[in-house]
Amino acid sequence: MTSLTSTYHRDTYPTISPTNPSLNQTGKTILITGGGGGLGFHIARSFSQAGASRIIIVSRRLEFLQETAEKLRAEFEPGGLETETGTRTRIEFVAREVNLLDESSVTSLWEFLNSELGVVVDVLVLNAAYRYKRLGTDVLNMDVRELEEAFGINVTGNFLMVQKFIKQPRALGGKKGLNVVNVSSASIQIHGANAPVEYTVTKSTFTQIMGRLADQLPVTDVQIVSFHPGLLYAEEAAKRWDKSSRNWDEMALPADFAVWAASSEASWLHGRYVWAHWDVEELKENISKRVEEEHGFLKIGVEGLPTTYLQAHG
């Protein structure tokens, strides 16, 4: 397996635990796309454990979202969460339908959040993705409609979400410290991966867009981190494989990693792409200097050619 650290995690560990005080999300509003089940549900749980004040889960399936929100309420609302000072705080869970293929639906979501609900989202987790209908990498016979749908969700829809997030009223104007966590995929870097090409190229495209956006926004305003979540036995995987057929990663690993990626502990990875498997302490010790010195390191580029950064000349 690809790894920049000698330790390769398959499950969560103390450094990225949402109960770690350095990752505390108290007072923050978290928005998770694709939040109805699978990894999205577990990410919502992890941010809840980290003390977030409000968790907003969105997807195209409202009934599924509402069931998920009820599960979260049943787990976290009865007694609330105990804070470091010994008081107890309650978490608000909001389920909202959105179609990333429909710009008006995305606009409506943000109007509801910023105007009707009256909140500014602090952390945007981009977990929703195009659901491919078959495996295989036959480029020539790719269905153009599937390619368009993949771009519509993985690129255009996700970009609209980021654009609305950063341009929220009172966001950059007075409230700093926003965070974008992009759930990417190892298929963007692995040649011969069995994921359909429309999924791979759109995941790669959006991850590169996030890297370019990070070039233009200081980490103190908006922190952006992309990561590969691992091999997960979620809804789509269950349709194709028996659970005993592979060595699956535990959902808690990427879910907790998402919380870490939304904290100041990950600020040095602004604009970069990493794997949830890599030990974050080793990663910082081993490559933080290289990240600082090499502008294109851990960003999308051309294999065999150095990623260069051209300064504008007046």
Our CA dihedral for 139, 145, 150, 155, rounded to 10 degrees, sits at 110
State how far the Cα of 209 lies from the Cα of 203, in Å rounded to an integer. 10
State how far the Cα of 159 lies from the Cα of 205, in Å rounded to an integer. 11
DSSP letter for each residue of 202-251:
HHHHHHHHHHHHHHHS-TTTEEEEEEE------HHHHHH--GGGS-PPPT
User: Which of 17, 185, 199, 263 is the catalytic position?
Assistant: 199
Q: How far is CA 222 from the centre of its chain?
A: 14
Q: 311 CB contacts (<8 Å, ≥6 apart)?
A: none
State how far the Cα of 44 lies from the Cα of 22, in Å rounded to an integer. 18
Query: What tokens were used for 23?
Result: 């990752």
Q: Does residue 247 contact residue 277 with C-beta atoms inside 8 Å?
A: no
Q: Does residue 217 contact residue 180 with C-beta atoms inside 8 Å?
A: no
Instruction: Respond yes or no: is residue 184 known to be catalytic.
Output: yes
Q: What is the largest CA-CA distance in the chain?
A: 61
User: Which of 46, 48, 184, 187 is the catalytic position?
Assistant: 184
User: Which of 17, 203, 204, 226 is the catalytic position?
Assistant: 203
Instruction: Respond yes or no: is residue 176 known to be catalytic.
Output: no
Q: Does residue 301 contact residue 207 with C-beta atoms inside 8 Å?
A: no
State how far the Cα of 41 lies from the Cα of 36, in Å rounded to an integer. 6
Instruction: Respond yes or no: is residue 187 known to be catalytic.
Output: no
Q: What is the set of active-site residues?
A: 184, 199, 203
